[in-house]
């Protein structure tokens, strides 16, 4: 009788461990160093990160929900970048698809169990702060979690991390310094994560601004929490694909988001590849 695979909701550590073991077997790479999660429209950036050793459908790893949002891939690549082994997730799942928080962060937990001590997150976002231009890559310096949930809800498994993780330096100052050394003109900004899938209303954008946010989006914050909980350092890049609702006078459209992201993905992929050897 074949035993059932561990459930990432009920058995998050065991599920991540099982996926990591399967990843090593399928890629032939025993241990990876850095994980990169590519957001909406960012998939072409994977081609700039180094030499692909293997590309595996996420479904073969167990525990991953199907990727169903346009602009996101459904594979993970094992990539050689200098003397580092990268895991590049070509897409992600989101809360707004109806998934539980533990499902959304299963890839992060798998990457940490696979050896990754650094997690690089990317996303497409709306810009609030004046001066942040469409098509500009921005370093995330902090976040505001407006999703209404947290991947650490429920009983804590000490094998994943401490019950009350410190989020003071969630977006590693050390890693941000390395990124700015590679690209001195990078701006830094605070990201507000909403549940979605609706774009924010102008009033919600104004609220986020008053709370201290410079960017708005529908991802990243839960993955950051899970990575920090697991002991990894986080570096996050947001690509401003549109001005947030009410700031441009134009309606927001996901197709436009993908167009802007695709046009900037290769250059931003080069930036990530330049930073990775020093991480």
Q: Give the pLDDT of residue 253.
A: 67
Q: Is the pLDDT of residue 267 over 90?
A: no
Three-state secondary-structure class, residue 183: coil
Q: Which of 43, 15, 42 is nearest to 112 (CA)?
A: 15
Which positions are catalytic? 40, 72, 94, 96-97, 124, 218-219, 242, 254
Q: Give the pLDDT of residue 131.
A: 92
Q: Is the pLDDT of residue 200 over 60?
A: yes
How far apart CA 172 and CA 224 sit, in angstroms, is 11
pLDDT, mean over the chain: 90
Tell me the pLDDT band of 248, cut-offs 50, 70 and 90: low
Q: Is the pLDDT of residue 3 over 60?
A: no
How far apart CA 95 and CA 99 sit, in angstroms, is 5
How far apart CA 173 and CA 36 sit, in angstroms, is 18
How far apart CA 211 and CA 141 sit, in angstroms, is 15
Q: Give the pLDDT of residue 134.
A: 87
Tell me the pLDDT band of 208, cut-offs 50, 70 and 90: very high
Q: What residue spans define the domains of the chain?
A: 12-278
Q: Give the pLDDT of residue 235.
A: 97
Instruction: Please check whether residue 193 is in contact with residue 219, taking contact to mean a CB–CB distance below 8 angstroms.
Output: yes
Q: Give the pLDDT of residue 47.
A: 85
Q: Give the pLDDT of residue 214.
A: 97
Task: Say yes or no: domain 12-278 is CATH 3.40.50.1580.
Answer: yes
pTM of the predicted model as reported, rounded to 2 decimal places: 0.94
Instruction: Please check whether residue 94 is in contact with residue 69, taking contact to mean a CB–CB distance below 8 angstroms.
Output: yes
The HSE-up count of residue 86 (CA atoms within 13 Å, CB side) is: 31
Task: Tell me the pLDDT tens digit for each residue of 80-115.
Answer: 988 889 999 998 999 999 999 999 999 999 999 999
Q: Is the pLDDT of residue 211 over 60?
A: yes
Q: Give the pLDDT of residue 2.
A: 42
Task: Tell me the pLDDT tens digit for each residue of 129-179.
Answer: 999 988 889 999 999 999 999 999 999 999 999 999 999 999 999 999 999
Q: Give the pLDDT of residue 82.
A: 85
Three-state secondary-structure class, residue 115: coil
Task: Tell me the pLDDT tens digit for each residue of 36-86.
Answer: 998 767 777 888 888 999 999 999 999 998 887 666 778 999 999 888 899
Measured from the Cβ of residue 196, the count of other Cβ atoms closer than 10 Å reads 17
Q: Give the pLDDT of residue 1.
A: 34
Return the percentage of the chain with pLDDT > 90, whole number. 70
Q: Give the pLDDT of residue 39.
A: 79
């Amino acid at each position: 009788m074949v035993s059932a695979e561990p459930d990432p909701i009920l058995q998050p550590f065991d599920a991540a461990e099982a996926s990591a073991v399967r990843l090593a077997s399928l890629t032939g790479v025993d241990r990876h160093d850095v994980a990169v999660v590519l957001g909406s429209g960012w998939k072409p950036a994977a081609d700039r990160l180094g030499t692909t050793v293997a590309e595996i459908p996420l479904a073969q790893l167990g525990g991953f929900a199907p990727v169903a949002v346009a602009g996101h891939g459904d594979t993970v690549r094992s990539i050689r970048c200098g003397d580092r082994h990268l895991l590049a997730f070509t897409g992600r799942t989101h809360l707004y698809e109806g998934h539980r928080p533990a499902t959304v962060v299963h890839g992060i937990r798998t990457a940490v169990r696979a050896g990754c001590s650094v997690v690089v997150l990317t996303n497409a976002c709306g810009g609030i702060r004046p001066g942040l231009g469409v098509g500009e890559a921005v370093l995330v310096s902090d976040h505001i979690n407006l999703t209404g949930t947290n991947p650490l809800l429920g009983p804590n498994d000490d094998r994943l991390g401490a019950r009350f993780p410190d989020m003071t330096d969630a977006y590693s100052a050390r890693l941000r310094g390395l990124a700015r050394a590679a690209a001195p003109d990078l701006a830094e900004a605070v990201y507000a994560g909403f549940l979605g899938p609706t774009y924010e209303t102008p009033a919600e954008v104004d609220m986020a601004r008053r709370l201290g946010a410079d960017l708005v989006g529908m991802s990243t914050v839960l993955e950051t929490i899970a990575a920090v909980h697991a002991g990894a350092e986080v570096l996050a890049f947001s690509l401003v694909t549109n001005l947030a609702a009410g700031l441009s006078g134009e309606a927001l459209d996901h197709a436009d988001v993908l167009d802007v992201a695709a046009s900037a993905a290769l250059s931003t992929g080069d930036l990530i590849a330049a930073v990775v050897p020093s991480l």
